[in-house]
Amino acid sequence: MANPPARPVYIGRFAPSPSGPLHFGSLVTALGSYLDARAHNGQWYVRMEDIDPPREQPGAADDILRTLEAFGLHWDGPVVWQSSRSEAYLAALEALAEHCFYCTCTRAELRPYEGVYPGTCRARQQRLSEQHSAIRLRTPDTPLCFHDRVQGQICHTPQETGGDPILRRKDGLWAYQLAVVVDDGAQGITDVVRGNDLLNTTAGQVYLQQCLGLPTPRYLHLPLMVDAEGRKLSKQNHAPALDPSAAKPLMLQALNVLGIAPPAHLNDATLEEILRWGIAHWLDHVPSLQPTTVCSIALTETLTP
């Protein structure tokens, strides 16, 4: 009998939320994760983080997928939709029962703590059938550590990352922390390449992986895009949507933001040639990435050279 094909040594992913169209900051993140996967001869998946219906825009998910294709960022395999993964999240939550507790705190009660959960409900021991409560993961008091491929060993105390994270919200919706860990494990993700704004969530995710007996991927955090006033370039801050008709100049600019200055001859190249050039030069450049360096850009300016 023939041996089954070996799994790739590298599996990466891009996981946007359909709360609006992709913007330039999204492109930088998608491009960085794509280049890293292709430079390692690995697979690159797309996962749609559609687990927060109140924040989602109708048609945004399909628009995101069309935009990725227009920019030449073609993924492997089927798109994973988190909205169809509730059974997996419930199974994980049940497996985590001994590490969890119910929290009935309101936003008003937590507001004085400025985003750091004070542990108010840690002693609660109710069964997991209780309603009208959030379910939180009880984190250790000691620092949680992980390794970033550029920044090296990073340790955060639970207080630095917001305290005990919510796994399931009061309204019954699944929280990002649980969904991302369960899905990375299910898809066999070996490498997570994402924006530096998610750096402080990583240690908690690594702890959750350990509680679930899941392997920890390698992590690489990319430069964070901000506007001229220092705000994160995001959908919430009304960052302009990507224009597929300007895919080539925007791709060249994204390479510049990642610190890989494209040569002048690429101005006349096809999108495929630009991506091939980026893949060929990516790994040599990774050690010099500066994930903590922000790139100031006005939200209203045209993102073309």
295 carries a ligand binding annotation: no
| 8 assigned to a ligand binding site | no
Is residue 49 part of an annotated ligand binding site?
A: yes
Kindly write down the DSSP assignment for every residue of 243-276, as one continuous string.
-GGGHHHHHHHHHHHTT----GGGGGS-HHHHHH
- Annotated binding-site residue? 10: no
Does 140 count as an annotated binding residue?
A: no
Q: 100 labelled as ligand-binding?
A: no
124 marked ligand binding residue: no
235 marked as binding residue? yes
| 3-state class percentages of the chain: helix first, strand second, coil last, to nearest 5 | 40, 15, 45
Q: Is 176 annotated as a binding residue?
A: yes
Contact 61, 18 (CB under 8 A): yes
> Is residue 301 annotated as involved in ligand binding?
no
What angle do helix axes 271-285 and 247-257 make, rounded to 10 degrees?
10
To the question of whether residue 45 is assigned a binding role by annotation, the answer is: no
Please state the residue numbers annotated as binding site for Zn(2+): 103, 105, 117, 121
Please state the residue numbers annotated as binding site for L-glutamate: 13-17, 49, 176, 194
Please state the residue numbers annotated as binding site for ATP: 235
Please state the residue numbers annotated as binding site: 13-17, 49, 103, 105, 117, 121, 176, 194, 235
